[in-house]
Amino acid sequence: MSEARLEVVYTRVMQTFTVRAFWDDDAEVWVADSSQVPGLCTEAATLELLSQKLQVMIPELLENIPSDTRIHLEAHRDLSLVA
């Protein structure tokens, strides 16, 4: 009699949230939001500070997200050439 064996492998795909940021010339801050994170709208003077805020705010706004969730930050700023 032959024995049949079934092996189930579960692989969880890492979750990534995309956040878009743009430079507000008038307020002199980076402004960020995301269609994937309801309620997310924040600003900071530097991209580094903005990144730190996002790492705290996103878990606060979303329930039960895994600790290995990633944030993809897309930053946009228009610059003028200096002659």
Residue 68, domain member (yes or no): yes
Residue 7, domain member (yes or no): no
Both tokens of residue 17? 């949230």
pTM: 0.80
Residue 4, domain member (yes or no): no
- Contact call for residues 51 and 74 (beta carbons, < 8 A): no
Low-confidence ranges of the chain (pLDDT < 50): none
Number of structural domains (the chain) is 1
Per-residue model confidence as pLDDT tens digits over 50-67: 999 999 999 999 988 998
Residue 34, domain member (yes or no): yes
State the residue range of the domain holding 42.
16-76
Predicted pLDDT at 83: 83
Residue 10, domain member (yes or no): no
C-alpha distance from residue 37 to each of 16, 25, 34, 80, 82 (Å)? 11, 25, 5, 32, 37
Predicted pLDDT at 22: 97
**CATH number assigned to the domain comprising residue 48:** 3.30.2390.10
Angle (CA) 29-42-21 rounded to 5° is: 60
Please tell me what DSSP assigns to residue 61. Answer: H
